[in-house]
């Protein structure tokens, strides 16, 4: 039977070898709007990996539409770089496209030399905190012309298609939505008028590039904005794009940057938003591409096979593993490194004004500067610790030809990835643990020893040339009286199912682990997705009751944190959603609060100089961890070259552990 994922498809004469589409993602890699070697190397790797089509970008249409780290398409001076990018993608086996866009009120004056961002109306942006300039009619017409000329440059540069971003809260979205379009002229008020700007942009592009050049639009299926646009209006817009503007394919995006519905985090179920692409596919007769949280071939082919879409957009999935398509095509799906939707290296980096990297793939964003080459001298390498850092170090050292022994004191590899994957909606971290274990298993020059405690005697017998110490961390205990009482447990033990709590739990520590264990406990007793669907389709309870039963569990949970906020060590992309869940699931939060003493029936705290006792059945300790590197001194005494990585060196995030493991393996 034919695999739906690898059946060819045609978009306005452009023949695609499979149904895998890499959508545009801002990489932060351009310099002065120019295409850099870093961009070229990044996309060359993804093209070689087997995607049918790669859309780079976004690219700017004028000076107010983006910033200098965006690819430029607003001037002929950028044509040589654009041509080089198009040639690179095509010569490595994929069809090429570039997305053009105008950020509208989402642009920061900081990036515009103090100039004011523009929008249909002077509605402040919650993302920038700034109020944009309301466009005059002649300015609107100039921007439409700018879009058309940028698209023409895309064609002249040799790309196979152009894509226009008409979603995510950028300029075209802002015209479409009644939330940001308060105009009373021909570009505002009614849906017909609010659609006018987007349709005129597409019509102008079509007039410039001709009928035979593929024009694709990436549009929202739902804005998820209060008082904004929902599915009904956007379906009408999709029909208008095809029938009135001659658009050849639609890539369905979801949400605005300001939306409070999570869109890209690990808590979003795989393929959750495919119902939006299905809804649009039902009303248009051009290919429709589904987006967001499609990180596995099984879900991708299921969506296509079930008629939810015609193609799948794999963005961060191809950052995590550029060879995802080729592995799926050749029966090596078990070798795929899955995107965990952590956003630690992609979106969080952009907030730090850094280029895109990846927790799962240490080479992402460094393709041209980092390669795994055979070592000049083969060595015997001992890796102590089988967590994320240790596994990646072992694999990297093995790929360079070294003989590697990997020792882990527990019964499985993965270490703290299993802890990170225990809370609700975080299971992808457990998948990542399995992915890297499989990478270890595939290397014949790695010998794995589980249930093994490494000591000086073991090292003497092994006689390694180099040791990588990846022994992780141990949870800390605060200096609180009666910390040894039987009603006190460690957060890690709760998350791993080694310890249980009573109905009233107080979590001491409001960092990432504290928030995660609080949510883990707060969801105990809530309805599962399967049960919720059963009750819903049988109309066993009303919707309000089902909603309440989905968020109200059987435990009363309180977080106590010394500083004035919780979740400070989450990445920015993840933190807001986690804090939203803390409130939604009824977790009580006490910040600027000190834990003074634990008793048999609770905990004594102090806040604002006032002492009080909180009655609790269980006190959960989540105050952080300390490095476990006791073997470092032994190795120094034995004069054995060694490298300390991950939490064994300094407490950090999974991103740090994996990148340090990779670098350690490279340097031996």
Specify burial of residue 114 (Cβ count, 10 A radius: 0-12, 13-18, 19+): exposed
Same domain, 273 and 152: yes
Q: Is residue 150 part of a domain?
A: yes
Q: What string of H, E and C letters represents the secondary structure of 116-170?
A: CCEECCCCCCCCCCCCCEECCHHHHHHHHHHHHHHHHHHHHCCCCEEEEEECCCC
Residues facing residue 118 across a β-bridge: 133
What's the rounded mean pLDDT across residues 62-79? 97
For β-strands 593-599 and 602-607, DSSP reports them as: antiparallel
Per-residue pLDDT reduced to its tens digit, 361-392: 999 999 999 889 999 999 999 999 999 999 99
Give the residue, 357 or 351, on which the prediction is more confident: 357
From CA 599, how far away is CA 615, in angstroms rounded? 9
Place of tokens 């095809």: 242
pLDDT confidence of residue 230: 92
Structure tokens at 251: 């890539």
Same domain, 612 and 632: no
From CA 664, how far away is CA 558, in angstroms rounded? 41
Place of tokens 């987007």: 198
Task: Please tell me the total count of domains within the chain.
Answer: 3
Structure tokens at 191: 């849906």
Percent of the chain with pLDDT over 90: 91
Q: Is residue 368 part of a domain?
A: no
Query: For residue 423, how far is the Cα from the chain centroid?
Result: 17
- Closest listed residue to residue 594, CA positions, set 465, 506, 529: 506
Q: Is residue 369 part of a domain?
A: no
Q: How many CB atoms lie within 10 A of CB 571?
A: 22
Q: How many CA atoms lie less than 13 Å away from 389 in the CB half-sphere?
A: 29
Instruction: Indicate left, alpha or beta for 209 from its phi (over 0: left) and psi (-120 to 50: alpha).
Output: alpha
Backbone angles phi, psi at 632, to 5 degrees: -60, -45
What's the rounded mean pLDDT across residues 269-296? 97
644: helix, strand or coil: strand
Q: What string of H, E and C letters represents the secondary structure of 331-386?
A: CCHHHCCCCCCCCCCCHHHHHCCCCCCCCCCCCCCCCCCCCCCCCCCCCEEEEECC
- Closest listed residue to residue 475, CA positions, set 620, 590, 582: 620
Q: Is residue 481 part of a domain?
A: no
Same domain, 331 and 387: no
Same domain, 21 and 91: yes
Specify burial of residue 530 (Cβ count, 10 A radius: 0-12, 13-18, 19+): exposed
Per-residue pLDDT reduced to its tens digit, 244-267: 999 999 999 999 998 888 888 888
What is the DSSP secondary-structure string of 490-538? EHHHHHTTS----SEEEEE--SHHHHHHHHHHHTTTSPPHHHHHHHHHT
Query: For residue 446, how far is the Cα from the chain centroid?
Result: 30
- Identify the band that residue 1 occupies on the pLDDT scale cut at 50, 70 and 90: low
In this structure, what CATH number is given to the domain that contains residue 301?
Answer: 3.20.20.70
Angle (nearest 5°) at CA 526 between 523 and 530: 115
From CA 169, how far away is CA 162, in angstroms rounded? 20
Q: Is residue 357 part of a domain?
A: no
- Identify the band that residue 118 occupies on the pLDDT scale cut at 50, 70 and 90: very high
Same domain, 601 and 642: no
From CA 423, how far away is CA 668, in angstroms rounded? 36
Q: Measured between alpha carbons, how far is residue 640 from residues 185, 194, 347, 486, 647 in Å? A: 76, 70, 40, 42, 21
**What single DSSP character describes residue 66?**
S
Q: Is residue 370 part of a domain?
A: no
Same domain, 69 and 168: yes
**What single DSSP character describes residue 31?**
B
**What single DSSP character describes residue 618?**
E
pLDDT confidence of residue 425: 87
Same domain, 446 and 540: no
Same domain, 346 and 440: no
Same domain, 86 and 188: yes
Q: Which of 313, 336, 351 is the last residue of a domain?
A: 351
In this structure, what CATH number is given to the domain that contains residue 404?
Answer: 3.40.50.720
Q: How many CB atoms lie within 10 A of CB 520?
A: 21
From CA 90, how far away is CA 346, in angstroms rounded? 25
Average pLDDT, the chain: 95
Q: Is residue 360 part of a domain?
A: no
- Closest listed residue to residue 315, CA positions, set 100, 53, 96: 53
- Closest listed residue to residue 4, CA positions, set 311, 293, 352: 311
- What are the percentages of helix, strand and coil residues in the chain, rounded to 5? 35, 20, 45
Per-residue pLDDT reduced to its tens digit, 480-517: 988 999 999 999 999 999 999 999 999 999 999 999 99
pLDDT confidence of residue 104: 96
- Closest listed residue to residue 96, CA positions, set 205, 214, 210, 207: 214
Range of the domain at 451: 380-474+626-667
Same domain, 215 and 79: yes
Weakest-pLDDT range from 174-178, 574-578, 613-617, 663-667:
574-578
Report yes or no: 493 and 463 within 8 Å, Cβ to Cβ: no
pLDDT confidence of residue 352: 85
Q: Measured between alpha carbons, how far is residue 156 from residues 153, 187, 213 in Å? A: 5, 31, 11
Query: For residue 495, how far is the Cα from the chain centroid?
Result: 23
- Closest listed residue to residue 297, CA positions, set 259, 335, 352: 335
What is the DSSP secondary-structure string of 549-581? HHH--S-EEEEE-SSS-S-TTS-HHHHHHHHHH
From CA 583, how far away is CA 102, in angstroms rounded? 35
Same domain, 132 and 217: yes
From CA 537, how far away is CA 543, in angstroms rounded? 11
In this structure, what CATH number is given to the domain that contains residue 497?
Answer: 3.50.50.60
Q: Of all helices (H) and strands (E), which one includes residue 410?
A: none
Q: Of all helices (H) and strands (E), which one includes residue 634?
A: helix 631-637
Q: Which of 330, 351, 372 is the last residue of a domain?
A: 351
Per-residue pLDDT reduced to its tens digit, 140-170: 999 999 999 999 999 999 999 999 999 999 9
From CA 520, how far away is CA 382, in angstroms rounded? 36
From CA 216, how far away is CA 235, in angstroms rounded? 16
Same domain, 573 and 431: no
Per the omega criterion (within 30 degrees of 0), is the bond before 58 cis? yes
From CA 510, how far away is CA 390, in angstroms rounded? 28
Residues facing residue 643 across a β-bridge: 468
- Closest listed residue to residue 598, CA positions, set 580, 583, 613, 578: 613
Specify burial of residue 460 (Cβ count, 10 A radius: 0-12, 13-18, 19+): exposed
Q: Is residue 364 part of a domain?
A: no
């Amino acid at each position: 039977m034919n695999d739906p994922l690898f059946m060819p498809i045609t978009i306005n004469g452009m023949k695609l070898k499979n149904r895998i589409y890499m959508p545009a993602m801002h990489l932060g890699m351009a310099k002065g709007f120019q295409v850099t070697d870093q961009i070229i190397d990044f996309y060359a790797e993804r093209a070689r990996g087997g995607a049918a089509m790669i859309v780079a970008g976004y690219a700017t249409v004028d000076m107010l539409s983006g910033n200098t780290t965006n690819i430029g398409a607003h001037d002929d001076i950028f044509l040589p770089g654009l041509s080089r990018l198009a040639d690179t993608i095509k010569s490595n086996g994929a069809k090429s496209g570039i997305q053009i866009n105008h950020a509208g009120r989402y642009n920061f004056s900081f990036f515009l030399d103090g100039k004011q961002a523009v929008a249909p109306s002077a509605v402040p942006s919650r993302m920038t905190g700034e109020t944009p300039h309301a466009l005059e009619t002649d300015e609107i017409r100039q921007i439409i012309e700018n879009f058309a000329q940028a698209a023409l440059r895309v064609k002249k540069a040799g790309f196979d298609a152009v894509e226009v971003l008409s979603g995510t809260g950028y300029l075209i979205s802002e015209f479409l939505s009644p939330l940001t379009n308060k105009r009373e002229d021909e570009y505002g008020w009614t849906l017909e008028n609010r659609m006018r700007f987007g349709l005129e942009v597409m019509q102008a592009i079509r007039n410039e590039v001709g009928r035979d050049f593929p024009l694709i639009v990436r549009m929202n299926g739902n804005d998820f904005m209060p008082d904004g646009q929902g599915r009904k209006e956007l379906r009408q817009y999709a029909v208008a794009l095809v029938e009135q503007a001659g658009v050849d394919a639609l890539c369905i995006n979801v949400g605005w940057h300001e939306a409070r519905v999570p869109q890209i985090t690990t808590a979003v179920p795989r393929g959750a938003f495919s119902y939006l692409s299905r809804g649009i596919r039902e009303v248009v007769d051009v290919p429709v591409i589904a987006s967001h949280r499609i990180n596995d071939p099984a879900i991708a082919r299921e969506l296509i096979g079930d008629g939810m879409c015609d193609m799948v957009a794999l963005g961060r999935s191809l950052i995590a593993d550029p060879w995802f398509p080729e592995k799926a095509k050749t029966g090596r799906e078990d070798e795929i490194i899955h995107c965990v939707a952590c956003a630690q290296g992609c979106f969080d980096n952009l907030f730090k004004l850094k280029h895109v990297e990846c927790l799962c793939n240490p080479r992402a964003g460094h393709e041209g500067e980092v390669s795994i080459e055979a070592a000049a001298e083969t060595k015997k390498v001992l890796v102590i610790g089988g967590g994320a850092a240790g596994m990646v170090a072992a694999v990297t050292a093995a790929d360079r030809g070294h003989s590697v022994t990997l020792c882990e004191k527990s019964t499985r590899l993965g270490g703290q990835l299993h802890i990170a994957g225990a809370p609700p909606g975080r299971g992808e971290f457990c998948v990542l643990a399995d992915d890297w274990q499989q990478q270890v298993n595939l290397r014949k020059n790695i010998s794995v020893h589980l249930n093994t405690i490494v000591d000086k005697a073991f090292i003497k017998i092994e006689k390694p040339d180099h040791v990588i110490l990846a022994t992780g961390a141990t949870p800390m205990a605060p200096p609180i009286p009666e910390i040894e009482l039987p009603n006190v447990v460690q957060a890690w033990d709760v998350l791993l199912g080694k310890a249980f709590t009573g109905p009233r739990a107080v979590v001491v520590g409001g960092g990432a682990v504290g928030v995660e264990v609080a949510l883990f406990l707060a969801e105990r007793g809530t309805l599962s997705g399967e049960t919720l669907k059963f009750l819903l389709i049988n109309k066993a309870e009303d919707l309000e009751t089902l909603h309440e039963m989905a968020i109200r569990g059987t435990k009363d949970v309180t977080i106590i944190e010394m500083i004035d906020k919780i979740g400070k060590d989450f990445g920015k992309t993840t933190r807001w959603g986690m804090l939203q869940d803390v409130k939604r699931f009824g977790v009580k939060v006490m910040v600027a609060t000190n834990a003074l003493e634990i008793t048999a029936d609770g905990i004594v705290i102090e806040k604002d100089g006032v002492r009080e006792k909180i009655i609790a059945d269980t006190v959960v300790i989540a105050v952080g961890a300390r490095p476990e590197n006791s073997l470092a001194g032994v190795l120094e005494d034995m004069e054995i070259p060694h490298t300390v990585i991950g939490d064994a060196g300094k407490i950090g995030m999974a991103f740090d552990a994996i990148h340090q493991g990779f670098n350690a393996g490279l340097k031996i």
